[in-house]
Amino acid sequence: MPALGCCVDATVSPPLGYAFSSDSSLPTPEFFSSGVPPMTNAAAGHSHWSPDLSSALYRVDGWGAPYFSVNSSGDISVRPHGTDTLPHQEIDLLKVAKKAADPKHLGGLGLQMPLVVRFPDILKNRLETLQSAFDMAVRSRGYEAHYQGVYPVKCNQDRFVVEDIVKFGSPYRFGLEAGSKPELLLAMNCLSKGSADALLVCNGFKDTEYISLALIARKLLLNTVIVLEQEEELDLVIDISRKMAVRPVIGLRAKLRTKHSGHFGSTSGEKGKFGLTTTQILRVVKKLEGSGMLDCLQLLHFHIGSQIPTTELLADGVGEATQIYSELVRLGAGMKFIDIGGGLGIDYDGSKSSDSDVSVAHGIEEYASAVVQAVQFVCDRKGVKHPVICSESGRAIVSHHSIMIFEAVSASTTNVSPQLSSGGLQSLAETLNEDARADYRNLSAAAVRGEYDTCLLYSDQLKQRCVEQFNDGSLDIEQLAAVDSICDLVSKAIGVSDPVRAYHVNLSVFTSIPDFWAFGQLFPIVPIHRLDEKPTMRGILSDLTCDSDGKVDKFIGGESSLPLHDLGSNGGDGGRYYLGMFLGGAYEEALGGLHNLFGGPSVVRVLQSDSPHSFAVTRSVPGPSCADVLRAMQFEPELMFETLKHRAEESFDQEEEIEDKGLAFESLISGLAQSFHNMPYLVAPSSCCFTAATAKGGGYYYYNEDNAADCATAEDEIWSYCTA
């Protein structure tokens, strides 16, 4: 155990050997002279570290395979085609971040952080991998129907994500699932360019307008299925379809007994939010039969929860549902499809564990095989024709393709000691009461004897007594800080001080990682560079919001802090320290709100290419401006600007010492106007809108994949936007 020699040495600057003048019985602090070895810094640990060690430390090979790894430069490398990615096709994520963040005059896009980077190639690979897994299971077992997937747009409704899925999935008849009227409208629009056989599955609570819209989709020759979530929806479907002269295709959602435990299983089982019981299913069949529409009932849907941990549980649920499907066939329904819902999980921590909400104990191939086998077993036993198998695997399709990059702008410092002169130390001693002096004597004696637990006891007592004196007004803040520093250094020397720092990140947890704040969903968070250096710090992430919940203090692997690098030694990357949150492509963007009026991130779309850096940015959109988020809260930014401009005119009229009022006024007003157009997040000091007399520029950068020209950014007036 290290000696305590640094404690007073680090607190006082004069030579050792003095005593408190007010009490000669206090021992001199000469026993503190042996010192404590300094903490190893990043540079010292560099030669003993490697990218492979960082990969193991952050479990990249576990949660990241086959799309993410650590390259020889110590940066996160993206493999856009998964296992089929060739070495020259790998993309250095740091280079993408720099391309996005660098100013335009240096060849960058001039975007502010935080930044979402989308990789459509990964999206395509995920979809193809899912389809391939089911195709293989169908072929290997001699299954007599096919698989066709359905993407639930609630996972990520971004236009380009949905359009990509329809485009990439068209050869496989891949469809969409909608749960609200806006989602139904966007699904109808996107599927108009997709496969004619692709399903448009309509889930969720439904009213007259929703059902009418779904039937219009049927009129437009989209393969639309209205899934009954509640029994009373059937009467609306029958009535409206007759009025519109449209023969509907109907599905129903069954409440299964099978469910799994944990947060993600709470939506399933007999007490689940949606679905029909066996009694209700029989009433639906009878009503359809009486209406001459029993042939319209063609799909059975169920859902036993997201993140299904084991294939055994999955097989139980699929088997139970297939029994219901077979009974519907026996009762005369025109059954064709079994929709197994979602549940294909993501291994967020790389543990491949069945005991965690953030992991699953199987891969896509095992999932597909279990589903096909369970359906086939029941159908063969019942003598029922094999149905088309559908799944709504949203999380598994979109999670990997999107990465959130953000910057740590500063970190809290710990155990920084103010320097006390000899006179200052004597003044402190004179102010301490008798109990505090006794604690110091006992602390000193215990240190001489090497009794470190006793040292900690008297250190805590000394601090508490001094806090009481401070509250009584007999100790000033400088003296209290000196006592705090002595006690903190004792704790550090003994090895019980808290080494965890708060890294302040240019992010809003509520806006960009709402699942973490809401129910503790964990995502891999990793520095995207400097991984050839040993991280010598541990930290939590503290965001820009003024709420105590605005922090990330739980990480994969059960950790309460994250290994991080010292920001002070970050000169190699221009002083910037970038972190990435991975596997967040599902739900986070749609759920994020406007807490503290922080808007969404900037977004870039990146394709693998044969360019020198192996990538091309095909689309770039800056995050919402201050005006955008204010407008979302019913403010009118243009009127706000006019009010403030008028206030500025009045204040300048009263100023007499300004040399050139006209120039000063124009500079202030242009800076004020530009502040409405800037993002709410932090910017580098050189980018501050108030440092320039004019604030032209900004706007909307756009580069079409068909090589369209950049959108012009010149503005005739300061208050204007460039629109694509």
Q: 10: how many CB neighbours lie within 10 A of its CB?
A: 21
Q: Which string of b and e fits 411-428 if b means at least 16 CB within 10 Å?
A: beeeeebeebeeebbbbb
| Residue 127: predicted pLDDT | 97
Q: pLDDT band for position 547 (50/70/90)?
A: confident
Q: pLDDT tens digits, residue range 204-246?
A: 999 999 999 999 999 999 999 999 999 999 999 999 999 999 9
Prediction pTM value: 0.81
**What's the whole-number average pLDDT of the chain?**
83
Least confident of 45-49, 64-68, 154-158, 404-408: 45-49
pLDDT surpasses 60 at 701: no
CA-nearest of 234, 230, 232, 212 to 289 is 234
Q: pLDDT tens digits, residue range 601-635?
A: 999 999 999 988 999 999 999 999 989 988 988 88
223-228 sheet: strands from edge to edge: 150-152, 175-178, 199-202, 223-228, 250-253, 297-301, 337-339, 388-390
| Residue 589: predicted pLDDT | 77
Q: pLDDT tens digits, residue range 178-191?
A: 999 999 999 999 99
User: CA 2, CA 12: separation in Å to the nearest integer?
Assistant: 20
CA-nearest of 126, 544, 497, 482 to 552 is 544
| Residue 420: predicted pLDDT | 54
Cα-Cα-Cα-Cα dihedral sign, residues 176, 178, 183, 187: positive
Query: Strand, coil or helix: what is 518?
Result: helix
| Residue 27: predicted pLDDT | 41
- Return the percentage of the chain with pLDDT > 70, whole number: 81
Q: pLDDT band for position 640 (50/70/90)?
A: confident
| Residue 685: predicted pLDDT | 56
| Residue 346: predicted pLDDT | 87
pLDDT surpasses 50 at 575: yes
- Section 170-176 average pLDDT: 97
Q: pLDDT band for position 660 (50/70/90)?
A: confident
Q: Which of 546, 626, 711, 722 is catalytic?
A: 546
- Section 688-716 average pLDDT: 35
Query: Strand, coil or helix: what is 438?
Result: helix
| Residue 160: predicted pLDDT | 92
| Residue 138: predicted pLDDT | 97
Q: Tell me the two tokens of residue 560.
A: 């309460």
Query: Strand, coil or helix: what is 65?
Result: coil
pLDDT surpasses 90 at 61: yes
More confident residue, 152 or 476: 152
CA-nearest of 263, 259, 285 to 271 is 259
CA 93 to chain centre: 17
| Residue 358: predicted pLDDT | 85
Q: pLDDT tens digits, residue range 311-363?
A: 999 999 999 999 999 999 999 999 999 999 988 988 888 888 877 778 888 89
Active site residue 455: no
- Section 659-667 average pLDDT: 79
| Residue 20: predicted pLDDT | 34
- Section 395-403 average pLDDT: 95
